[in-house]
Amino acid sequence: MNKKLGMALLFGAWLGLGFSVPAAAKSEPAVHHKVKAGKKAKSAKAPRAAKSVKAGKQAKRAQVVPARAHKSVAKKGMRKVSFEQFEPGRLALHSASAFVLDQGSGETLVDKGSQAVLPIASISKLMTAMVVLDAKQDMQEVISIGDADVDGLKGTRSRLPVGTTMTRETAMLLALMSSENRAAHALGRQYPGGLAVFVEAMNRKAKALGMTSSNFEEPTGLSSNNVSTARDLARMVTAAAQYPEIRTMSTTPQAMVSLNGHIREFNNTNALVKSDHWEIAVSKTGFISEAGRCLVMQAKVAERPVVIVLLDSVGKMTRVGDANRIKRWMESAGAGTGNRSA
């Protein structure tokens, strides 16, 4: 009896072993096949993705898409972005001072150290242009670059050699678009009454605009004594936007200019004016070591007219990055709920 029971158990164990081994053998290739198939599927998709990117680049080169069309596409994409991504605490701006004003409602959308008095570098040239235009000087009058226009403060270079002649209009274009210091200084120096009277007019204009924390010492911004606050500069940009000449010249992407019989190409110092995703009416950049990199703009963002002021950005692309972060935040509808501090 015991012998029969033992043999039955042994036979059962042998049957169990016989069934389990093939099962394990079958399961192993199945797993291996899935991994292999997964790799094949992934590699098969890669060429299609690369092809679509390439096609997108070709389409961009071949066709200029109107700004309005870009915005409608951007809005559709932005609907998937959660508001939490752009909460005020997460709107990480790297400029030391930032201010965004909704011109339609007068509402402050972003405020980061907006009352700090800081050097403003070539942002000063917007005031220079307004003072020249207010004086109603002949814009077609030929003016020249002299020794007095050479930068003795920072030793910066210029593409305008001493003796270069141009119209006052061209000098203003180069000052606003390409931030040419010699052109800006020549505009101030050849103002009725001279440079000292011009600087007085700059400060008088600032006072009239309510820029109570601002001071101008010269027309280029090379002096660190040209100072203002982000709030004051929002007033200045708003005023500058009332001048058609400033709107056109400050947002010109590039220009071919005839100087002393040679055609030279000048480019805008703000790369964003060339972007189809931005609708900019006034633009000015600035940089000296004391001021860091600065940017002011009057633009339409999320169908709202706004003034954006960014001061003392350390990195070369920080001010552009901050401007794009503000734009994305506004387009996500995060700016529609009131005052935001950054």
Active centre residues (catalytic): 122, 125, 179
Q: At how many degrees (to 10) do helices 230-240 and 124-134 cross?
A: 40
DSSP of 290-324: TTEEEEEEEEEETTEEEEEEEEEE-STTHHHHHHH
Question: What's the CA gap between 124 and 255, in Å, rounded?
Answer: 22
Give φ, ψ of 297 to 5 degrees: -150, 150
Question: What's the CA gap between 96 and 116, in Å, rounded?
Answer: 9
Helix, coil or strand: residue 252: coil
Q: Which residues contact 148 (CB under 8 A, 6 or more apart)?
A: 185, 189
Question: What's the CA gap between 307 and 287, in Å, rounded?
Answer: 19
If you count DSSP H runs as helices and E runs as strands, how many of each does the chain have, helices first?
9, 11
Q: Which residues contact 134 (CB under 8 A, 6 or more apart)?
A: 201, 205
E-assigned strands of 118-203?
118-119, 142-144, 165-167
CA angle 55, 59, 64 (to 5 degrees): 165
Is residue 186 within a helix (H) or strand (E), and if so which, with residue range? Answer: helix 181-189
Q: Break the chain down into helix, strand, coil percent, rounded to 5.
A: 50, 20, 30
Question: What's the CA gap between 53 and 64, in Å, rounded?
Answer: 17
DSSP character at residue 151: -
